[in-house]
Chains A and B, each alone.
Chain A
Amino acid sequence: MSLGELVLSLADNKQLLGLRYAEWATRAPSLEADIAAAGMGLDDLGHCRVLYGCLEPLGDDPRPGLARDSDPAAYWSLPYFDQPFASWSHFVAANAVLDTAFTALIQACVEGSAEVLQTRLRKMLMEERYHFLHGRSWLRSGIDRAPLDEAWRQAVAWFGPPGGELEELHRSGVLSMGPAELLARVSDRLGASPPKVAVDWKAWDSKRRREGAGGGIDERTFNMLRGLEEKRFMPAGA
């Protein structure tokens, strides 16, 4: 795994998280939460654009070698985002745990040695502060256990195995934190410990940073990413 591959994984996850947030813009438990869902969705879609824009200056853009027009698995997002969030608990678990995990890695990039990431990602940390406050507050109000445990599990899997390539990027100074430090940071910020998680690292996909092979984003979302969903609303013959 190269730095470009890690940034692509972060960008794809941010894009899917933004889309999933936005799907709740009219379904959250209060009008304020609706607006926050829409706002956080916009933020994360903006962040993913900035992250995609970092790949070329890094000199390491994996996308040309991927079949992103035909294969949903070419998007390197977590299984948590393969389907729309099934409940508000799913939303909050993603907001609190996964969004905070992504922010921890952004911080590790800002504090690391890659100049393009140091400069371009800094503003994200300010915007993510409000995502964190939103997620932590709702988390403290109590949510269903299953999506929360699943979000923790996928955060652990996304950070990768001990001694893996993300650890190498940490040792070489490209990132200021390795997997253990990243997980500790998420835990400290949320004031909550992850459940005992035993990721099967032998079945772990090092590119998509998720357990197991196969799977991918749902067809409707994949069509939307490819610009096909909008065509349904075009006049006949257009």
Chain B
Amino acid sequence: MTHVYNRVQGEAKEYEVFARKLRVEPLRQIGTVVAPDADLAAAYARATYDEERWIEMAIVARDQVMTLWAPGEESAD
């Protein structure tokens, strides 16, 4: 039997990719990848955003980010 691959729709999650080039710089968001798990997201982030000389790269699942307020919303204070 041949498997049907369906790795982007449904179960896949979006991951934010952060990186920096210098120690004195803060990490900044450089893009996103979509993957069904963190391992694959790490591999995709590295393959997609590796053209520049980053000294650090990190990924965060978007659904793990706590949004305090967003554009168009009032701040908490």
Contacts and interface: CB of A to CB of B under 8 A. Distances in A.
Contacts of B7: 29-30, 33, 138, 141
A40 B47 contact: yes
A40 B6 CA distance: 21
B19 interface: no
Interface in B33-77: 33-37, 39-40, 42-44, 46-48, 50
Q: How large is the interface on B (under 10, 10 to 19, 20 to 34, 35 or more residues)?
A: 20 to 34
A144 B3 CA distance: 6
Given A32-B48, A137-B36, A144 B2 contact: yes
Given A29-B8, A141-B7, A144-B1, A39 B47 contact: yes
B44 A32 contact: yes
Given A143-B3, A144-B2, A144-B3, A134 B48 contact: no
B6 to A, nearest CB: 8
Given A29-B5, A40-B47, A130-B46, A141 B36 contact: yes
A134 B5 contact: no
A128 B16 CA distance: 22
B2 A138 contact: no
Contacts of B48: 32, 35, 39
A138 B47 CA distance: 16
B47 A30 contact: no
A222 B7 CA distance: 33
A189 B4 CA distance: 26
Contacts of A142: 3
B39 A38 contact: no
A166 interface: no
- Of A35, A38, A142, the most chain B CB neighbours within 10 A belong to A35
A185 to B, nearest CB: 18
A109 interface: no
B40 A138 contact: yes
Contact of B39 (A29, A89, A137, A143): A137
Contacts of B43: 36, 130-131, 133-134, 137
A12 to B, nearest CB: 24
Given A30-B8, A141-B36, A35 B2 contact: no
24 contacts: A29-B5, A29-B6, A29-B7, A30-B8, A32-B8, A32-B35, A32-B44, A33-B7, A36-B43, A36-B44, A38-B47, A87-B2, A88-B3, A89-B2, A131-B43, A133-B43, A134-B40, A137-B36, A137-B40, A137-B43, A141-B7, A143-B3, A144-B1, A144-B3
Closest 6 CB pairs of A and B: A39-B47, A134-B43, A29-B5, A137-B40, A32-B44, A133-B39
Interface of A: 29-30, 32-33, 35-36, 38-40, 87-89, 130-131, 133-134, 136-138, 141-144
